[in-house]
Amino acid sequence: MGHPEYKYDVLVIGAGHAGTEAALAAARMGAQVGLLTTNLDTVGQMSCNPAIGGVAKGQIVREIDALGGAMGQAIDATGIQFRLLNRRKGPAMHSPRAQADKKAYQQAIKQIVEDQENLALRQEMVEDLLTEPHGDGQRVVGVRVRGEATYRAAAVILTTGTFLQALMHTGEAKTPGGRAGEGTTAGISGALQRLGFRLERFKTGTPPRLNGRTIDYGATDRQPGDDQPQAFSFLTDSLQVEQLPCWITYTNPAAHDLIRANLQRAPMYSGQIQSNGPRYCPSIEDKVVRFADKDQHQLFLEPEGRHTHEVYVNGISTSLPRDVQDAVFRLIPGLEKAQIMRYGYAVEYDFCPPDQLWPSLETKTVAGLYFAGQINGTTGYEEAGAQGLIAGANAALKQQGQEPLVLGREQAYIGVLIDDLVTCGVDEPYRMFTSRAEYRLLLRQDNADRRLTPRARQVGLVGEARWQRLQTKAAEVERIQGLLESHRIEGVTLAKYLRRPEVEWEALVERLPELDNLDDEVRWQVEHDTRYAGYINRQQQQVDRQQRLSEKRIPLDFDFQRISQLRTEAREKLSRVQPISIAQASRISGITPADMALVLAHLEQRGRQ
């Protein structure tokens, strides 16, 4: 008898945040999808912090939801604390964040996956990628799993997280594995190198978890959730949830002195780890070295669920030896008698620099092979989920012979994320910030559905119920905007009156009671669109100018090496990234206006010929 063989349209390898969104997206669009994971009990697992959203990340979750993804619905169903961050700033900075019941969230995602039509979830260890010659290169045709079975598909999406040749570090101790209690994946790294991909190493870390029963909360500061919690999903009407508090404490000079005295035992400082880690999320070792003038650092004590005492200590990621971790906590207010349930550790893993991808997240080296999540050098559940959704949608679109779904920087934070990755590459684990988005006033968390659900509808990512819901809401937004333009106060329209800095929405309600008791989503969008109309129009003009550049396409066979007048650095970078438009080429790090003038001239000459 021969080896077993299974056939699908799309195969997704890995069932974390990227993998589940990828599989769900492709299946929603009608593709027959196989989702392969080494352990069915860790589908959608939160490897690090028990939270979804945050600054800029919350906007991404709203966008994932607007495109039909699962993350927003899952956190609405399992959240234990909800907060809207940056309320004192403008609406472009407002970012939802929620603490999750970690196990409940994971189970919610797994159930969504199991319930999805066209999707088969299977426990398998993938050991090799199968390819065949295609034109001048290769195309993927499937994977081989442990036990010599094969899975055939015209598209394969790799979402391997931190598991590629992963190595965990706690002090001098080193253990193979991409997550505590789990193993590593070596075969896929070897397959990628054989196929000609460049692989590099990154590191990330995680803090200790404590037994909440042994924490003295009386010595810490209480941090409650919002009185009126805001949902992530546009399908959630309201949140009726008993919220749990988080707690805040601080490190101190004694703890810092102890950490400094043991730096030679920390893998990042002993030379045991050579790879780069996330600069914006430093370990406690990095904090006491880089910010030596600070005598304290804030620590957030975050409950991991309703039915566990386990507490995540946000702000003290570390790979120091166990005895040092024990001693540090003895010096922190409220944690002097706290029992460590899981020790902190760092993990090193392979990733593929993302300039090896097209904006569709298909690889340039192997047709039909897509990468999403930490394999692209990103960090964070939200960034992973966003990439997975786009990769899954594009794998399905390719099967249908359709153009890929590529979101512009002016359309979505997801567009900014992917453009940054494929155009600029990464030199540290990539995390999204509002400052990365030049059009962030257009990309608010409150209008993600109006921005993206119509596009999702065009490609088949969302169903009739969500589409009708948006139509109803859009009509109500238009009706209320009409009321503001047709009613006057002090000789000006209510719309102009609202643009005065001192005027609040309640002042309009006094004059026009019909504006009271609106749906929150409708009210926010009307208020923000009206109050900031001048700024929004100015940003739209910038978008229109950039759009004209984007429309100047660069043919895929355009040879930058033949432009002899180009600087060597420019030829090398343009040839490696292979930008698809003048706008993308201009964003490549180190490319100058003079370089772009030469490229434009040669494009025009080619057009004339």
**pLDDT attached to residue 269:** 77
Domain ranges of the chain: 5-160+184-198+350-458, 209-231+241-346, 463-542, 552-608
The band of 63, judged by pLDDT with boundaries at 50, 70 and 90, is very high
The label of the residue with tokens 């929004």 reads: 536
**Mean pLDDT of the region 269-274:** 76
- Closest to 290 measured CA to CA, from 265, 268, 319: 268
- Say what the pLDDT of residue 148 is: 86
| CATH code for the structural domain at 209-231+241-346 | 2.40.30.260
Residues 33, 6: contact at Cβ < 8 Å? no
178 vs 180: CA distance, rounded Å:
7
Residue 273: pLDDT band (50, 70, 90) is: confident
The pLDDT tens digits for 457-481 are 999 999 999 999 999 999 999 999 9
Dihedral over Cα of 69, 70, 75, 77: its sign: positive
pLDDT in tens, 338-352: 999 999 998 888 999
List, for residues 411-463, the tens digit of each pLDDT value: 999 999 999 999 989 989 999 998 888 889 999 999 999 999 999 999 999 99
Q: Dihedrals φ, ψ of 347, to 5°?
A: -135, 130
Q: What does pTM read for this prediction?
A: 0.92
Q: In this predicted structure, what is the pLDDT of residue 179? A: 67
User: Which one has a higher pLDDT value, 403 or 170?
Assistant: 403
DSSP-derived letter for residue 362 is B
Query: Within 13 Å of residue 420, how many CA atoms lie on the same side as its CB?
Result: 24
The answer to which of 203-212, 272-281, 442-451, 494-503 has the lowest mean pLDDT is: 272-281
pLDDT tens sequence across 567-597: 888 999 999 999 999 889 988 988 887 788 8
497 or 545, greater pLDDT = 497
Label residue 82 by pLDDT band (50, 70, 90). very high
- Give CA separation, 139 vs 87, 170, 519, 603, in Å: 49, 40, 49, 29
CATH topology of domain 552-608: DNA polymerase; domain 1 (1.10.150)
Residue 1 has pLDDT above 60, yes or no: no
Amino acid of residue 165:
Q
**Is the pLDDT score of 609 beyond 80?**
no
Distance from the first to the final alpha carbon of the chain: 59
Dig out the tokens for 453 from the structure.
Answer: 């659900």
Contact 154, 399 (CB under 8 A): yes
Q: What integer pLDDT is reported at residue 181 of this predicted model?
A: 67
Beta-bridged to residue 287, according to DSSP, are none
Instruction: Name the band, by pLDDT with cuts 50, 70 and 90, for residue 44.
Output: very high
Helix-helix angle 381-399:413-424, to 10 degrees: 80
Give 401-414 as a DSSP string: TPPP----TTT-HH
Q: Is the pLDDT score of 54 beyond 70?
A: yes
Query: ∠299-301-302 over CA atoms, to 5°?
Result: 130
pLDDT of residue 255: 97
Is 184 a residue whose pLDDT tops 70? no
Torsional sign, CA 320, 326, 328, 334: positive
Check if CATH label 3.40.50.300 holds for domain 5-160+184-198+350-458.
no
Q: What are the backbone dihedrals phi and psi of residue 290, each rounded to the nearest 5 degrees, phi first?
A: -75, -30
Cα distance between residue 50 and residue 98, in whole Å: 9
Q: How far apart are CA 20 and CA 292, in angstroms?
A: 41
What CATH architecture does domain 463-542 belong to? Answer: Orthogonal Bundle (1.10)
Q: CA of 186: how far to CAs of 144, 147, 164, 277, in Å?
A: 13, 16, 6, 21
Rounded Cα–Cα distance for residues 332 and 335 (Å): 5
- Mean pLDDT to the nearest integer, 87-108: 95
Q: Is there a contact between 52 and 136 (Cβ–Cβ < 8 Å)?
A: no
User: What region does 300 belong to: left with phi over 0, alpha with psi -120 to 50, or beta?
Assistant: beta
Q: Note whether 321 and 262 are within 8 A (CB).
A: yes
> CA separation (Å) from 24 to 70, 94, 122, 159, 554?
8, 28, 14, 13, 33
